[in-house]
């Protein structure tokens, strides 16, 4: 059984804890959160310290894996890269809920999380540290690049491409073959019928670009 810590302790982290428990093969040692006091708890797991404490905690607790349970794609990426630098050799396990479905010839990158009801259909590629939230669906031959995310009930047709750090909102739909650019955000309930450029916020049905966004600009 692999001993892991979870970075974060918010609502998103609660869902990640549930996935880790139900996936099996993992022992959650505790939580890491810079914004809570050591000893505070979420779902029975205590905060062990902040991110700066991680190298020490890895040695003290025999931790072999780190899961970054942060919903914001850019912040998740920043944290993951920082941990990779400060704690070389630590693993970033992939978490797949037993009620998720992964099709034939699909690949799931390190640090990715698939929540209950998520579907990755055949020949898809899910990059490192992606999130497929509850009941989201990535159809055949589609690609999610690193740190991208599908919110609950977001779904795509086949042969779609979701660029790095892009976020597809709750209940949004991507038509077959659509490409969503890097760092772009698709609004909740949007229907995307054509490609969305990099650094773009697209809203509505059919989805239209409404603004550009800077790298790291908050969207949750």
* Catalytic hit among 12, 61, 97, 140: 140
Q: Is 140 annotated as catalytic? A: yes
Rounded to whole angstroms, how far apart are CA atoms 83 and 93? 14
Q: Is 201 left (phi over 0), alpha (psi -120 to 50) or beta?
A: beta
Rounded (5°) CA angle 47-51-54: 85
**52 burial class (0-12, 13-18, 19+ CB within 10 angstroms)?**
exposed
How many angstroms separate the CA atoms of 95 and 19, rounded? 7
**Nearest Cα residue to 95 out of 166, 220, 6:** 6
**DSSP string for 161-202:** EE-TT-EE-TT-EE-TT-EE-TT-EEPTT-EE-S-B-TTEEE
Q: State the burial class of residue 214 (Cβ atoms within 10 Å of its Cβ: 0-12, 13-18, 19+).
A: exposed
Residues 6+ apart with CB under 8 A from 217: none
Q: How many other CB atoms sit within 10 Å of the CB of residue 123? A: 17
Residues with catalytic function: 140
């Amino acid at each position: 059984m692999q001993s892991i810590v979870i970075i974060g302790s918010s609502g998103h982290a609660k869902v990640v804890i549930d996935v880790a428990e139900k996936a099996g093969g993992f022992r959650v040692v505790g939580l890491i959160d810079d914004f809570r006091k050591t000893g505070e708890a979420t779902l029975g797991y205590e905060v062990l310290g902040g991110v700066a404490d991680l190298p020490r905690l890895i040695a003290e607790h025999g931790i072999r894996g780190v899961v970054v349970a942060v919903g914001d794609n850019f912040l998740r990426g920043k944290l993951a890269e920082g941990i990779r630098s400060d704690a070389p050799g630590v693993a970033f396990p992939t978490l797949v809920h037993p009620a998720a479905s992964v099709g034939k010839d699909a690949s799931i990158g390190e640090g990715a999380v698939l929540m209950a009801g998520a579907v990755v259909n055949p020949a898809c590629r899910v990059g490192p540290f992606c999130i497929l939230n509850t009941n989201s669906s990535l159809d055949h031959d589609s690609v999610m690049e690193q740190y991208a995310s599908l919110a609950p009930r977001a779904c795509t047709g086949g042969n779609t491409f979701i660029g790095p750090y892009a976020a597809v909102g709750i209940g949004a739909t991507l038509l077959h073959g659509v490409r969503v650019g890097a760092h772009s955000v698709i609004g909740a309930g949007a229907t995307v019928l054509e490609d969305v450029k990099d650094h773009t916020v697209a809203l509505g049905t059919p989805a239209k670009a409404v603004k550009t966004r800077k790298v790291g600009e908050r969207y949750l």
